[in-house]
Structure 1
Amino acid sequence: MFNKLTLKLIGTLLASTMILSACGTNGNSNGAAKSNNQPAPTESTSNAATETNDKPTGKLKVQLVGDFSLEDKTDPVSGQTSKGVKVLKDEFEKQYPDTEVEFILMGWDNYNEKTQTMLQSGAADVYQVPGITTFVEQGLLEPLQPYIDKDSFDLGIYLNGQVEGWKAMGPSDQDLQVYGLPFIGDSRVIVYDRQLFDDWGVEYLSESPTIEEVLEKASKMTGKNPKTGEQNYGLTFKGGDAADTVMNINESLGGQWGTGFLWKDMKLEFDSETMVQATDLLKEALKYAPEGTMAGQGAENFLTEKNNIAINLRQTPGFINSLANLGLEDRYQAALLFKNQTTGMGGMFAGSPFSIGASSSNKDLAWEWLKFSGSEFFQQYMWEEQRSQSMPVIKAAENWSSVKEIGQMDIILKSMSQLWTPRYPYRSGQPRYILSENVERVMLGELSAAEAMKKAQEEGTKWLADQQ
């Protein structure tokens, strides 16, 4: 009798347990479906969040620099509404229960100085640091290799060169180390107007042209357009970027900016034979450009229906948005920047990485955010909602239908994989401005290329010596 009663009680308890367990499964928030208008988590998200019971918790402060907004906003020109970064906050908090993300949003004005102050005071955990070199040298950022090793985090998800471009050296490092992971991609490409090439009967640019090819074709399209009778110019470039264009030409001639990374180890090569030659070639290019090029004038109609310039030597990726707004996607095409034939690299590395502040009180959770920023969810959000200020940094983007349907994106993503790495370290200090000033003086006819590069070398070397 006792045994029968015991068996009945055990059976009742087991049944109750199964019912409660089933109810708990139905109420699991992890099973909730994503809305159709938000990026869906994909397999690569597993790199960002591992299903364990000991996920880090707490409050995470994330600094963002640029045109970001927490809530949705509408562009006054295009009329399009983009989702705010609250989308990222909601998804991260969903993947990591018992966490709270707080964004600290700021513009580009004095962002380096503001970031410096924040890092020193511990105002945030995660920082957007395009000027990463300066902060790493001061020991203000956390080295990431221990975290990468601990989680066996796959850096191969990123486009080639994107991680290497942000490597830097801390006070006790003997070589370059990972202190940041990319989340905003950027590059520069050559853009040309196919309609003007057709009008002049000139063959389109190669996918990876040389400076000689560009100058030859630009010379053929400077003058009165044979079809419209309007004045055309072979090329243009941004006057303020002249030094970067010279450096890119220099790379294609087999040269480089110099060697070393820290100021104490740096050797500039501003007065090399290839740098002088590159400066002369850009001066020659001015013959085919509008008169006000160095003052930022003359190219106002580029990327429009009224354009009269065949080639732009350095265009930001955001030009695809302008073409889409004007319905001119088929008129303009992109080509790669000039590159060094030995290294396969060329052009200034650009974009933004995320880093962990050395003073962060929640570094484990901050590391989870860095991994999250490389997930397809995060990168699709940046691509769909922040396209004016970001290109994807992961290889998976090459297969997105929304990327494939834009003809110029293939070149843009290729260009991001060939940029010179690590990022030109001389641009973190005064040598950047010394070179720019002297290149500008050549373009304005005040100095010869040889004189200007000798002057840049002497002034830059002296500045480096003063940093010892």
Structure 2
Amino acid sequence: MFNKLTLKLIGTLLASTMILSACGTNGNSNGAAKSNNQPAPTESTSNAATETNDKPTGKLKVQLVGDFSLEDKTDPVSGQTSKGVKVLKDEFEKQYPDTEVEFILMGWDNYNEKTQTMLQSGAADVYQVPGITTFVEQGLLEPLQPYIDKDSFDLGIYLNGQVEGWKAMGPSDQDLQVYGLPFIGDSRVIVYDRQLFDDWGVEYLSESPTIEEVLEKASKMTGKNPKTGEQNYGLTFKGGDAADTVMNINESLGGQWGTGFLWKDMKLEFDSETMVQATDLLKEALKYAPEGTMAGQGAENFLTEKNNIAINLRQTPGFINSLANLGLEDRYQAALLFKNQTTGMGGMFAGSPFSIGASSSNKDLAWEWLKFSGSEFFQQYMWDEQRSQSMPVIKAAENWSSVKEIGQMDIILQSMSQLWTPRYPYRSGQPRYILSENVERVMLGELSAAEAMKKAQEEGTKWLADQQ
């Protein structure tokens, strides 16, 4: 039998062991110790999930829209092989044991209608929603602020304006809220041909030119090239984007598209003095563009050695890939879109966010995916393998050597930080098409700018009234 002294000694040892065990926990409320086989946080994952044993598990369905594939694929033109999104699946499942990621991949054809059906039926957990406004208004997406607050998730990792651009308002919201986090960056920039500027002896565009500067220089480079004798044109633009170009010019003149966010609160300013002026300025620009510009013709050789157009008013960031493939990086240069001189903003916000479906049965795991999409691992994958359809959305990308070595990327990333936020809400409904149609009629000479903008204002306002 133990004597009293022995029992007392055993009790003291047990108490000491319990104290040491408590000190060895990771500090979580459940007191679970950090597992030795958990991966250590890295720079690319430190803002993702906390390293605990209570990570969410289960199956996660992620919808992606665009030119994505699960497995690796080879471009038939360039011969380059890009890794499929299986890379993302494998990494996420590695970071989150006992999970399974299933991608639902679709193209851009009728993607809004397909996404609507999926959201209503609960077909996925995470959705790529560039048309986020429409879905939030219907209460189909989960508000993210509670998740952000719970994890103290740092939104400062994203480029300026990238989170704000995707804010929206749900049925019961009083102001704009976060319903999506960016994962695909996009923008538009002005691109010009240095060689043609040199041929004509015209000074290169400013980094942030005005519409007046562009028109002045375009006028000087329309005609027979003094060195080659070939016909040159001062500028071009995509006819289908004419209304967006008019809106961008309007912003640079101090105007705006309107006010409000929900249809019931929205007031259009399509017939403002600056909108009429902007439309007239784009009509003037047509004098320096190839015939057929409004039909998408005449600029087929832009970004090639045979180019005969000095300036493109709206170019997607993917032009850097074309230049790299042709070895023309030094010939072409990017400049910023027109911007409001007071706010420093200008241009239509673009890209894609990830959101959580309100009908998701695994919202906690879906939230971890959203955080994962902002990690350097995810964004580096998008940059390395999906560059034709995505620009980085995080500030860390500015320091990547692969970004720094591309001379145009500083302008592209800068442009992404100056886009008008939130994304033009009128573009989620019929006013977008009403404005486009009337701008096109001005470009085709069917209406004056004043007549067309008055018509767009009346038709757009009537449509808004019908939504009440």
Q: What range is the shorter-chain TM-score in?
A: over 0.9
- Structure 1, unmatched stretches of 5+, are none
Alignment-derived partner of residue 455 in structure 1: 455
Please give the secondary structure, in 2, of the residue aligned with 1:351: strand
How far is 1:3 from its partner? 14
Please give the secondary structure, in 1, of the residue aligned with 2:183: strand
How far is 1:46 from its partner? 1.1
User: Taking every aligned residue pair, what percent have the same amino acid on both sides?
Assistant: 100
Q: How many residues align?
A: 468
Alignment-derived partner of residue 313 in structure 1: 313
CA distance 1:294–1:40, change in 2 (3 Å): farther
CA distance 1:33–1:194, change in 2 (3 Å): farther
1:259 and 1:266 in contact (8 A); partners too: yes
Please give the secondary structure, in 1, of the residue aligned with 2:3: helix
Deviations 1:392-448 (A, max 9, x none): 000000000000000000000000000000000000000000000000000000000
Please give the secondary structure, in 2, of the residue aligned with 1:284: helix
Please give the secondary structure, in 1, of the residue aligned with 2:247: helix
How far is 1:42 from its partner? 3.9
Deviations 1:192-239 (A, max 9, x none): 000000111111000000000000000000001011010000000000
2:39 and 2:95 in contact (8 A); partners too: no
Deviations 1:19-63 (A, max 9, x none): 999999999999999999999984141111211111111100000
**Matched residues in 2 for 1:36 and 1:290: separation?**
66
- Structure 2, unmatched stretches of 5+, are none
CA distance 1:329–1:37, change in 2 (3 Å): farther
Please give the secondary structure, in 2, of the residue aligned with 1:355: strand
Deviations 1:87-132 (A, max 9, x none): 0000000000110000000000110000000000000000000000
Greater shift, 37-46 or 407-416, is seen at 37-46
**Matched residues in 2 for 1:382 and 1:34: separation?**
31
**Matched residues in 1 for 2:272 and 2:23: separation?**
74
CA distance 1:25–1:200, change in 2 (3 Å): farther
Deviations 1:259-297 (A, max 9, x none): 000000000000000000000000000000001100000
**Matched residues in 2 for 1:205 and 1:250: separation?**
20
1:39 and 1:380 in contact (8 A); partners too: no
1:430 and 1:460 in contact (8 A); partners too: yes
CA distance 1:41–1:415, change in 2 (3 Å): farther
1:441 and 1:447 in contact (8 A); partners too: yes
2:34 and 2:52 in contact (8 A); partners too: no
CA distance 1:135–1:25, change in 2 (3 Å): closer
Equivalences for 1:17-416 in 2 at 5 Å? Answer: 42-416=42-416
Deviations 1:243-262 (A, max 9, x none): 00000000000000000000
Please give the secondary structure, in 1, of the residue aligned with 2:464: helix
2:25 and 2:32 in contact (8 A); partners too: no
CA distance 1:23–1:425, change in 2 (3 Å): closer
Deviations 1:369-406 (A, max 9, x none): 00000000000000000000000000000000000000
CA distance 1:249–1:12, change in 2 (3 Å): same
**Matched residues in 2 for 1:30 and 1:197: separation?**
67
2:193 and 2:331 in contact (8 A); partners too: yes
**Matched residues in 1 for 2:35 and 2:274: separation?**
55
TM-score (norm 2): 0.92
Please give the secondary structure, in 1, of the residue aligned with 2:78: coil
Please give the secondary structure, in 2, of the residue aligned with 1:46: coil
1:41 and 1:376 in contact (8 A); partners too: no
**Matched residues in 1 for 2:157 and 2:458: separation?**
42
CA distance 1:38–1:425, change in 2 (3 Å): farther
CA distance 1:405–1:25, change in 2 (3 Å): farther
TM-score (norm 1): 0.92
